[in-house]
Amino acid sequence: MTQLTIRRLVVGVTLALAAVLAVGIAARAQSDTGCEMSGYVLDPQGRGVPRAEVELKISGRAESNLVRTEADGFYVIRIPTPILQEAGYLYTIVRTDQTLVTVGQANFKRCRTRRDIFTNDPRPVAYQPGPTPPAPPPVLPAYPAPDAPANDLEGSVAFFDLTALPRGGVIAGESFKIPVCMASFTSRAPQVSALTFVGEFDPTQLQVASDAIRTIRVTPNQQVREASVSYQTIAGRQRGRILFTVEFNGLVSLPVLPAPCTSVAEVEMQALAWNGATGLRPGDTVGLSNVKDTVRGINPTMRLGGVDGPIARATTYLDVLTSQEQQDIFKRSWLPILVKNDRLRR
């Protein structure tokens, strides 16, 4: 071994040790950082829901984080590690005398404020609402609100699955695809034979083509009864509605979150860029909601053994990425550099 080779080897080992130390320091720094996500739990009238349980679950992780709302429905939940490239689900449960009275759900992939959770109509009558927050929610709730969940489908939910977006958000002007998923967020795993999903969106922010719904096969010989996009004015504002109805060939067991949900369809959308009056700008948040269908009476509807029953309401928060958030996605970690046979190897 020549002196030059020895010097190269020493330099290579030194670089390797420096890289390992740097990775260790970065890992410790990352584990010590985090952020707080906050918002309000609101009933269909926009009033705060006091003493509601708000639980956060990160996909693929067993642990969870649970807090309770204050008297005005406000909550703050600590995200233990950065979730820029992770995904999670946020639930709220309201109990009166240990009785489940309403369920709401939202999924997210970024740590921002005002992640409001819109519940069903709380029951029983003993429920005492809190005050209305001083500022309206940045994402308007779906209208009209779904019915409270039936006991046989308690904990079941169908929603737009944000976890499928690799960047956790979109860029204004781009097209993207987002699945329609169904799952359960309790230890029970209900079985369903059909799903009627109605999703609501703001057509001044998102554009959905009439042929943008692609069916995903869950069971052989399943029957898609309807897949359409329509527009109507509800409570003085224009809303777009995605209707998807499918009947399965047999019963389908719902996975329990945070395990991957079961995708039944995929919807292609476009985030409209700001034109001076409407559209989306970097830093905005747009909401995709499940709503109650005024014609069919229940939305979404899952049929359990031939019995119809509603499931939990869901809101998906879709973030329009800022330039900094876009850069965060492309951060990379490199392996140490070593010297072998006078050549650099990674």
51-68 pLDDT, tens per residue?
899 988 877 777 788 999
Q: Name the residue type at position 85.
A: Q
Question: Do 254 and 324 reside in the same domain of the chain?
Answer: yes
Residue 244, strand partner residues: 197, 227
Residue 62, domain member (yes or no): yes
Residue 155, domain member (yes or no): yes
Question: Do 11 and 78 reside in the same domain of the chain?
Answer: no
Question: Do 122 and 23 reside in the same domain of the chain?
Answer: no
Residue 342, domain member (yes or no): no
Single out the residue of 166, 184, 60, 69 nearest to residue 117, CA to CA.
Answer: 69
303 Cβ neighbours under 8 A, 6+ residues apart: 192, 193, 194, 195, 309
100: which 2 tokens?
């489940």
Other CB atoms closer than 10 Å to residue 253's CB: what's the count? 11
Q: How far is the C-alpha of 72 from the C-alpha of 16, rounded, in Å?
A: 54
Question: Do 132 and 245 reside in the same domain of the chain?
Answer: yes
Residue 317, strand partner residues: 287
Helix (H, G, I), strand (E, B) or coil at 151: helix
Question: Do 22 and 37 reside in the same domain of the chain?
Answer: no
> What's residue 168's pLDDT?
79
Residue 195, strand partner residues: 246, 302
pTM of the model: 0.79
> What's residue 91's pLDDT?
85
Range of the domain at 12: 1-31
Question: Do 26 and 41 reside in the same domain of the chain?
Answer: no
> What's residue 101's pLDDT?
62
Domain count, the chain: 2
Q: What is the pLDDT along the chain (346 residues), one digit of tens a residue?
A: 555 444 444 444 343 333 333 333 233 333 346 788 899 999 888 899 998 999 888 777 777 889 999 999 999 998 766 555 577 788 888 776 656 667 778 887 777 889 999 887 776 667 788 999 989 888 888 777 766 666 667 678 888 998 888 777 899 999 999 999 998 877 677 788 888 888 899 999 999 987 899 999 999 989 999 999 999 887 788 899 999 989 898 888 888 888 888 999 999 999 999 999 999 999 999 989 887 765 554 445 566 555 566 667 788 899 999 988 887 655 544 445 544 555 544 4
Residue 337, domain member (yes or no): no
Burial group, residue 74, by CB count within 10 angstroms (0-12, 13-18, 19+): middle
Question: Do 49 and 23 reside in the same domain of the chain?
Answer: no
Single out the residue of 128, 105, 1 nearest to residue 53, CA to CA.
Answer: 105
Residue 336, domain member (yes or no): no
Residue 117, domain member (yes or no): yes
Question: Do 18 and 74 reside in the same domain of the chain?
Answer: no
Question: Do 37 and 5 reside in the same domain of the chain?
Answer: no
Question: Do 17 and 53 reside in the same domain of the chain?
Answer: no
Q: Which residue has the tokens 């985090």?
A: 34
First to last CA, the chain: 22
Answer positive or negative: Cα dihedral of 137, 143, 148, 152: negative
Residue 338, domain member (yes or no): no
Question: Do 103 and 27 reside in the same domain of the chain?
Answer: no
Q: Name the residue type at position 290.
A: N
Question: Do 14 and 129 reside in the same domain of the chain?
Answer: no
281: which 2 tokens?
């700008």
CATH number, domain containing residue 160: 2.60.40.680
315 Cβ neighbours under 8 A, 6+ residues apart: 104, 105, 106, 116, 117, 118, 139, 141, 142, 287, 288, 289, 290
Q: How far is the C-alpha of 40 from the C-alpha of 209, rounded, in Å?
A: 33
- From residue 309, alpha-carbon distances to 105, 290, 336 in Å are 17, 15, 56
Residue 98, domain member (yes or no): yes
CB distance 298 to 147 below 8 Å = yes
List pLDDT tens digits, range 222-277: 999 999 999 988 778 889 999 998 989 888 888 888 888 899 999 999 999 999 99
